[in-house]
Structure 1
């Protein structure tokens, strides 16, 4: 499903200014960040008393998280609890609705104690005893250039590591040629390493639209931790609710992990991040080619040229990206800025790229542009990229 967005603010770009490491890392990451929304439907049963809460129609809850594309053919990773029916995920959301209903009837004294008790003993299930709750997962991403649109796709849960086993979920959506980011194989980065947490805070999503622009929060690794034996990082970046499952990246724009949890009652910026080794664990055994595509490498190369002040060459790289994916919002915006700041050629090239792909006309022009894309894709890969053909088992 695609619907048009009314975008109230332009992409935050420092046109022509020297890029800070954080700005560059955010620019690399943002095209691949998505919003993950899950609808849950079920009932809550107290096995001690046999009482079933939810009435004839049951409870319906919607939860929101963030995620990131790791392979261009539709593979997305997010936090496992975002799609898990356990207490930290959909089950907890349904239990909260049951508690609110019981509180309305005057059956709850201390809500905190009641929730802890009910969450421990309650069984969250479908319409029949022992059946699972219904779970519908959607992934939303922003597409389009002159008229940005929100593309919402149904998602399949391919693999799930619940909290305590890594807290990672692998999703797939029926989309191709997506912008993706590199996942590092390092999971023992030292304290003090600067990082960015990127995602869609729930409060911002409620006020505007969850797909308009992801938020970036900078911080650093405070310590390495183990949660139920799985490697995590403690970071100082202030990730907000709704950013769970969003990527945490280093200054090269590589994913070092996913936002997992914020300890309850903590007043200072403090979040746990599941390390990249758990992401690779979720990918293992599935046909996921989690390496940057030629298109991703062209985009990063364009950013490098743009921030180096080589605007004409930056335009060529962004043209290559747009020839392959005309709806790449960030490539179009950086292409425009590069053309304005240097001898990058008129924007008619950009219009021809978008027009040919959208309307299916201008075969000769389209062929020229695609030939140009293939040529540019063969240019040297940026130092931080991966060569084609590299894969992880």
Structure 2
């Protein structure tokens, strides 16, 4: 029997563990440059340089304490301060500094799991023990009894056209958790109009099975979590849409064969015209191959609409 594990594609420093699992979805038949959307748009060709300018590197930090069974008689005690740092990808979605990414990149529940996982990375534990801890242990923020706080900053690599050259704090505006669709909207309120990266265009329609797509993001682990870290250039991974899938919870998504890897979560997947057709979400890792998934264009459009982002 093959083992299928859904891995959300954030990269977390200091630990190596799955942020969550998902039952394999069931099959369903069916199936930016910032290119213009609408009739004739597909005739445009993708411009990687223009897309580079719209993609941002996101670093998320969660700090707090973990209540774990570490007393002499197995009683629960509070740990020393723990900090979990992870990276994801985002892309400019609105003229007001709005940035789209994956929900699990900034969701508080995922931050809780990352905090526990980072704490356990100092111990020799199994994946089952990590999963049990995520269910049964408690965490709190830096203030006594407070919730943990997810802090996000954005920056772009040192490439021509980059405008976010220093770490920019971003606000978490809206989060759709992984199980409900895996989307999040952030806002960089401190950007000047002349320093905002160009906005990417979202396609009018969902892709069809067999369509060529390119997934964009920042793969790889964080080697240095200091603010002087060097950010690599985004990677472009090309493939096709394999199928439309629906999860056991009723959430639609697209399986693609582009090689998405850790850290690319939240990045855009674009069509041949450079228009966004979905947000990089997760991978199901089997014994012999990985199955990569993105959100649907329709869900992305609805999410942006409910937040007033054109």
Q: Say if 2:86 is the partner of 1:63.
A: yes
Q: Say if 2:114 is the partner of 1:93.
A: yes
Q: C-alpha distance in 1, partners of 2:77/2:304? A: 38
Q: Say if 2:223 is the partner of 1:223.
A: no
Shift of residue 99, structure 1, vs aligned partner: 1.6
Structure 1 residues 118 and 152, CA gap change in structure 2 (3 angstroms): same
Q: C-alpha distance in 1, partners of 2:245/2:157? A: 34
Q: Are 1:77 and 1:279, in contact at CA under 8 Å, matched by a contact in 2? A: no
Q: Say if 2:95 is the partner of 1:80.
A: no
* Residue 190 (structure 1) aligns with: 208
Q: Normalising by the residue count of structure 2, what TM-score does the alignment of the two structures yield? A: 0.73
Q: Normalising by the residue count of structure 1, what TM-score does the alignment of the two structures yield? A: 0.59
**101, 117, 137: which one aligns with 2:132:** 117
Instruction: List, as ranges, runs of 4+ consecutive aligned residues in structure 1 with deviation greater than 4 Å.
Output: 142-149, 207-210
CA RMSD of aligned residues (A): 2.9
Q: C-alpha distance in 2, partners of 1:288/1:22? A: 24
Q: C-alpha distance in 1, partners of 2:295/2:165? A: 28
* Residue 24 (structure 1) aligns with: 46
Q: Say if 2:280 is the partner of 1:259.
A: yes
Partner deviation per Cα, 1:227-269 (whole Å, 9 max, x = no partner): 3212211110111100000000010111111110112445434
Q: C-alpha distance in 1, partners of 2:58/2:93? A: 14
| More strand as a share of residues | 2
> Radius of gyration: which is bigger?
1
Q: Count the aligned residue pairs.
A: 256
Structure 1 residues 130 and 273, CA gap change in structure 2 (3 angstroms): farther
Q: C-alpha distance in 2, partners of 1:282/1:153? A: 24
Partner deviation per Cα, 1:286-311 (whole Å, 9 max, x = no partner): 3323xxxxxxxxxxxxxxxxxxxxxx
Q: Are 1:245 and 1:258, in contact at CA under 8 Å, matched by a contact in 2? A: yes
The 3-state SS of whatever aligns with 2:113 is: helix
The 3-state SS of whatever aligns with 2:104 is: helix
The 3-state SS of whatever aligns with 2:135 is: helix
* Residue 30 (structure 2) aligns with: none
Q: C-alpha distance in 2, partners of 1:124/1:282? A: 30
* Residue 76 (structure 2) aligns with: 51
Shift of residue 135, structure 1, vs aligned partner: 1.8
Structure 1 residues 202 and 284, CA gap change in structure 2 (3 angstroms): same
**113, 135, 141: which one aligns with 2:156:** 141
Q: C-alpha distance in 2, partners of 1:268/1:253? A: 27
The 3-state SS of whatever aligns with 1:179 is: coil
**181, 197, 206: which one aligns with 1:178:** 197
Partner deviation per Cα, 1:134-160 (whole Å, 9 max, x = no partner): 221101124775998733210000110
* Residue 213 (structure 1) aligns with: 233
Shift of residue 129, structure 1, vs aligned partner: 6.6
Q: Are 2:158 and 2:231, in contact at CA under 8 Å, matched by a contact in 1? A: no
* Residue 246 (structure 1) aligns with: 267
Runs (5+) with no aligned partner, structure 2? 1-42
* Residue 303 (structure 2) aligns with: 282
Q: Which of structures 1 and 2 has the larger relative contact order (alpha carbons within 8 angstroms, sep 6+)? A: 2
* Residue 20 (structure 2) aligns with: none
* Residue 159 (structure 1) aligns with: 174
Q: C-alpha distance in 1, partners of 2:288/2:230? A: 25
* Residue 381 (structure 1) aligns with: none
The 3-state SS of whatever aligns with 2:117 is: helix
Q: Are 1:67 and 1:245, in contact at CA under 8 Å, matched by a contact in 2? A: yes
Q: Are 2:219 and 2:264, in contact at CA under 8 Å, matched by a contact in 1? A: yes
Shift of residue 278, structure 1, vs aligned partner: 2.7
Q: C-alpha distance in 2, partners of 1:264/1:60? A: 27
